[in-house]
Structure 1
Amino acid sequence: MRRIFALPLAIISLISLTLSACGSSTPQTAQPQIVTQIVRETQIVEVEKTVEVVVTPTPGPHPEAVISGVEEGAEITFWTFYLSPTFDQYIKDTIARFNEAYPGVKVRWEDRQATLQEEYRNSLAAGNAPDVVNIPTDWVLEFAQKGQLLNMSEALPPEVQKQYFEGLFNQVNVGGASYQVPWYQAVDGYLVNKQLLTQAGLTIDDLPKTFDEQKEFCARVKAATGIPCGLRLNTGNLLQSMAYEGNVTIMDANGRFVFDSPEAVSWLQYYVDMIKDETTARDILLLNSSDDRIGLERFSAGQMPFYVTGPQLIRLVRESNPGLYGYLAMVPRAVGRSGKLPPVSMSIVVSKNTKYPRAAAALAVFFTNPRSMLEFSKLVQIFPSTPASYDDPFFTQPPVAIEDQIRPIARDIIARQSNILPEIPRLNEVNEIVRQAIEAAIFGGVPAEQALKDAVTQANTLIGK
């Protein structure tokens, strides 16, 4: 601030002595005269002063509040699957953060375990389903086909949908729409016994990169060591194995099953030959997913060159055979003839009959946003469905432990995960038909072509085609 002052400069007194000389010879005494003169002059002086002004900004929108129009006073129930008690603190902390972004919403969290699927079915039928539920992605199709889930393609703005890998957001489509948001992902890879590879005269670099190389690799290991591989099909969805590994078209444009094509026959013959040649274990091939640890135990005993599993199970190998741990490695698995990898994931869905669709969608998105996903990944060996999470040093720094060897390449692996299957009606029943056909060809001596032809006929009859 500047202020202007008018200041007097000086007061000047002039004393003038006037001496006058007379013409007479008599001197005269001079008398002094006092003359006073006041001179005023104005001078401008600038004085600078700093004034501190405190401004309280108006709070902006919370950066994680990406869903607009959330219902004020909403009370929503959130069910998770097998996360308590191990991850209680993470869930509670994330809900607390959610409440900062959406202060008008109350969340009631409950964890369900072995009975989740049946409980959710019953609650939907009774009309009292939880608003938001964490379920395996394989379950989504059943509920979406019955019209019991919120359409997330319509509920979420395009910019929110883009926070996920596109192939994961669209991994379960019904009528061209997504009915889930992808949560945490698993990354299957080859868990490798390097000691056994050395015995076979092979190295990590010799591991198969493609489906067809895998067959050749197993034959080499068997010939050198007498030990077979332990390949395992996805018995919960055999059409998925057929499509990804064999690049088989499952249905035509008219909705008819066509998985008896030459590509399908070639895929099935691949396994018929391997079982016949004993280059893969016959009792492992069609194990149910619930029996996955049977194969892992055999690998831990040094009876397989590799096993397809996730890094989170390496600790089980270390516990059962500590001496093997130092010979382990984790590398990407072979990619099938389709060039794609199937998603291995958990989803979050919103029940269609929720009273608070905006608030429920907001919670689903919040738990699956990049920050929430990154924080969860630091607690357990899971992988985000959000590309932005992988920019963090947690994923980019060189790994130290064997369990972490897949981490720096996880983003590239997950980017290749996408759903290439059509919407399959009556999936469980069709899958059982396919299973019987595969068993007939592999173990019963039925030609692969005939087994698949019979299965296609039965499946089309089942769906009325």
Structure 2
Amino acid sequence: MRISRRALAAAAVCFVLPLSACGSGSDGGGPADASGKVEGDITFQTWNLRANFKPYFEGVIADFEKEYPGIHVKWIDQPAEGYADKISADAAGGTLPDVVNVSPDLVAPLAKAGLALDLDKAAPTYGKEYLEGAWASHRIPGTTGTYAFPWYLNTGPLFYNKSLFEEAGLDPDQPPRTYGELFTDALELAKRTDGEVATLANVPTIEDFGRYGVPLMNDQGTAFAFDDDKGVELLTKYKELYDAKALDPQALTATPESSGKKFLTGAVAMNPGSALDLGNFKKQAPNLYRNIGITDQITSTGHVNMYVMGLMVNARSERTPAAVAFAHYVTDAEHQMSFAKQVAIFPSTAGSLDDPYFTEEDGTDETRVRIAAAKSLKNAVNYTPVLFSEQMKTALRNEVAKALQGRQSPKEALDNAVKACDTLLRQQG
């Protein structure tokens, strides 16, 4: 399958480990470091990758076994559906593979249960090989460790319709880059078009609060904090957009597909997307395609949002040196670069995004978007807290909707959202 920005976003699934698996942190078992001879049989589990990338992974495994003759890697690939439940069951039953493909939210409960190896302790020399934001993405608030090797990254540039900006008297070559600029331009565009053209088609998510500079959690990772003055300020601004029709009236129930259709028809001026979208524009809306602009995600922090996958080492593996060596091998610069040329993802290794593949234009739409995304990823941040579950996302969205509809104030909405998320957080154990 094609691994897109949206797919990575949708892949964030939270689960709660059974009490029988609970521990007190990364010291719950297994060797404390990765020193020792790299040998023995290990298991490697991926997440719905065999169907389209079987030759790639079989090649990587064969090369690793050739480099380390005393090792045999058994590759297991699990379907996307029920992946979190499968990890939970393995964790509870003591059958967790040695190396596991995880997203940050999946590694969090494993780390809390003492099942994820702390790489800062076990293999501290590797951290410098990866982008700082990527290495930090598998840290858990309230702890001091890093619990997975960062693997592939993704992000999405923002498309905008230059003709709509120009018709509203805005500079088509100077799209908004900060939230302040966005709010000003969006209100002006709505005013000039009598509310016929909205700038955005989506309500603010937790990533928006992060990119706006709102503190999302306390330092201990025990409570959420996005209901502070800055968070209320952001939601208040979105309420102004909604009232002025600068935010699409159907944003409360929007999906990526419906937002894309709004952008395609010229009802919305800005929308995130991918190289595949450019191809669709070319076929379905040639006028839009001729006037398409590509810019970075809106951010007031100077850092865009990244989506990241990782490889976690089972802290209770009996073959820790081999497991760490293999996880590092799969995620090193050479192999990440090789994988990135097969699928629309980006390497998390330091320096890889300076490769000509990510910097030199060749006239194709795919390269145009790839270069824009790669440039922004160099100092990107995973804003979604690793402890922020799908249930929490729903709670936030519901309260945001009430605020936009005027059923409660932005402050009341965010206070209620934080209260609901804190309750869910305590239930995670």
With the length of structure 2 as denominator, give the TM-score of the two structures: 0.80
Counterpart check, 1:414 vs 2:377: yes
Aligned to 2:36: 69
Q: Report the secondary structure of 2:415's partner residue.
A: helix
User: 1:316/1:112 Cα in 2 relative to 1: closer, same or farther (>3 Å)?
Assistant: farther
Structure 1: runs of 5 or more not aligned: 1-66
1:447 aligned partner, one-letter code? S
- Which of the two has greater helix per residue? 2
- Unaligned residue ranges in structure 2 (runs of 5+): 1-33
Paired with 2:216 and 2:108, the residues of 1 have a C-alpha distance of 19
Distance 1:154 1:80 in 2: 24
The aligned counterpart of 2:15 is none
Aligned partner of 2:74 in structure 1 is 108
Q: C-alpha displacement at 1:164, in angstroms?
A: 0.2
Q: Secondary structure at the match of 1:265?
A: helix
After TM superposition, the structure 1 stretch with the greater mean CA deviation from structure 2, 95-104 or 413-422, is 413-422
Q: Give the distance between the partners of 1:149 and 1:253, measured in 2 at CA.
A: 19
1:35-77, Cα deviation, whole Å (9 max, x unpaired)? xxxxxxxxxxxxxxxxxxxxxxxxxxxxxxxx753442x2222
Q: Greater relative contact order: 1 or 2 (C-alpha under 8 angstroms, separation 6 or more)?
A: 2
Instruction: Give 1:237-316 correspondences, 5 Å limit.
Output: 238=206, 240-248=207-215, 250-251=217-218, 255-284=222-251, 287=254, 291-311=255-275, 313-316=277-280
> Alpha-carbon deviation of 1:269?
0.5
Paired residues of 1:329 and 1:402 also in contact (CA < 8 A): no
The equivalent of 1:200 in structure 2 is: 168
The question of whether the paired residues in 2 share the 8 Å contact of 1:318 and 1:325 is answered with yes
Residue 334 of structure 1 pairs with residue 298 of structure 2 = yes
Shift in CA distance, 423/300, structure 1 to aligned 2, threshold 3 Å: closer
Contact persistence 1:330–1:402 (CA under 8 A): no
> What is the distance in 1 between the residues matched to 2:355 and 2:390?
40
Bigger-Rg structure (1/2): 1
**Matches of 1:312 and 1:101, distance apart in 2:** 38
Name the CA shift for 1:386/1:459 in 2 (closer, same or farther; >3 Å).
closer
Deviations 1:193-231 (A, max 9, x none): 334344434454221011111112222333344211234
Residue 379 of structure 1: SS of its match in structure 2? coil
Where 1:366 maps in the other structure, the secondary structure is helix
Q: 1:363 to 1:234 in 2, by over 3 A?
A: farther
Q: 1:108 to 1:458 in 2, by over 3 A?
A: closer
Q: Deviations over 1:227-277 (max 9, x none)?
A: 112343575xx3x43232243353266945443322121011111111111
Q: Which residue of 1 aligns with 2:20?
A: none
> How many Å apart are 1:167 and its aligned residue?
1.6
- Number of the residue aligned with 2:367: 404
* Corresponding letter in the other structure for 2:410: A
**Which residue in the other structure is 2:404 paired with?**
442
1:366-396 CA-to-partner distances (Å, cap 9, x unmatched) read 1111111111222222111112223422223
CA distance in 1, matches of 2:338, 2:425: 44
The number of aligned residues is 388
Verify: 1:172 aligned to 2:134, yes or no.
Answer: no
Q: How does 1:51-130 map to 2 (within 5 A)?
A: 69-72=36-39, 74-115=40-81, 116-130=83-97
Whether the 8 Å contact between 1:256 and 1:460 is mirrored in structure 2 is yes
**TM-score, normalisation: structure 1:** 0.74
CA distance in 1, matches of 2:216, 2:100: 32
Structure 2 residue aligned with 1:386: 349
